[in-house]
Amino acid sequence: MILVETISDFRAHRKKLGGTWGLVPTMGALHQGHLSLVERARRENDHVAVSIFVNPTQFAAGGDLAKYPRTLERDMQLLEPYGVDVVFAPSSDEIYPPHFQTYVTVEEVTQPLEGAMRPGHFRGVATVVTKLFNIVQPDRAYFGQKDGQQVAVIKQMTRDLNILVEIIVGETVREADGLAMSSRNTYLSYEERKAAPVLYRALCAARDAFQRGERDAEKLRAAMRDVLKQEPRAHVEYVSAADPNTLQELEVVENSVLLSMAVRIGSTRLIDNFLL
Ligand code: AMP
């Protein structure tokens, strides 16, 4: 496993190693959620690249960019046993040199939910993922269901721009109490960490209702809100039962539904979802 910090070094290395490539894009502070994607990429490709880049363009001004955990040495140690070929960890200047001025904007699917709460977020995500695809030229790229709207955005973008890459989605990896693993969980205080599994419990309540035959989307949203209300530390940003591809809110679930939510616990913003 080698660490590469420049685009030209990555390309030189990529040229030397033929065969198929899998890419796992991350912002580092790796946990089992990331590693499950790496493991799958390892199984399905001849070579694996993991990118570690805290992408400034997807953070809002005054967001948590400055305090986002950066743990490259530990990340390298965690990746070591997974048979990764290249860790690509460029600087911000390498990805966004002076006079950079081209962005990728995906339209409708970025409007609701995370897009509404975090203006500009998906423009940053779509731009950096396009750049990573152009740099790495992977056959397959691996994303987590944890970021459900991101999956819809990346799939839409690769279709629209005819990018020749297969998008593979890995299941959300959770702690024993159901909390979805996230680099941001480290921001939680002891008391907040105890409150955080309320997101999972709310999703389970809506899933249970769905499994009992409930297809009224508003009732599914209400089931989630009812559980979240019971946790005084939880401040709900949104609760959604939407079409998994368009992210438009449903009235009636006919096929599949993406149940999702963003909830603040203290000053930490958590998101989670179930795809049913
Ligand atoms: P991040 O470093 O947060 O940008 O995440 C990098 C990739 O890992 C994204 O595709 C995420 O959706 C995915 N990911 C993050 N947390 C999890 C998790 N708990 N389970 C599965 N995938 C995850």
> Would you give per-residue pLDDT tens digits along the chain (276 residues)?
999 999 999 999 999 999 999 999 999 999 999 999 999 999 999 999 999 999 999 999 989 999 999 999 999 999 999 999 999 999 999 999 999 999 999 999 999 999 999 999 999 999 999 999 999 999 999 999 999 999 999 999 999 999 999 999 999 999 999 999 999 999 999 999 999 999 999 999 999 999 999 999 999 999 999 999 999 999 999 999 999 999 999 999 999 999 999 999 999 999 999 999
> Distance between CA 224 and CA 233 in Å, rounded?
15
Which ligand 1 atom sits closest to the C-alpha of 173? Answer: 20
- The residue whose CB lies within 8 Å of the most ligand 1 atoms, and thus the one to mutate among 58, 125, 146, is 146
Question: Strand pairing partners for 216?
Answer: 252
Domains, the chain: 2-170 (3.40.50.620), 183-275 (3.30.1300.10)
Predicted TM-score (pTM) of the model is 0.98
- The residue whose CB lies within 8 Å of the most ligand 1 atoms, and thus the one to mutate among 52, 79, 147, 167, is 147
Q: Which residues line ligand 1 (CB under 6 A)?
A: 26-27, 33-34, 36-37, 143-144, 146-147, 170, 172-173, 180-183
> Does the active-site annotation cover 235?
no
Stretch (H or E) spanning 74: helix 72-79
**Angle 194-198-202 (CA atoms, 0-180°, nearest 5)?**
170
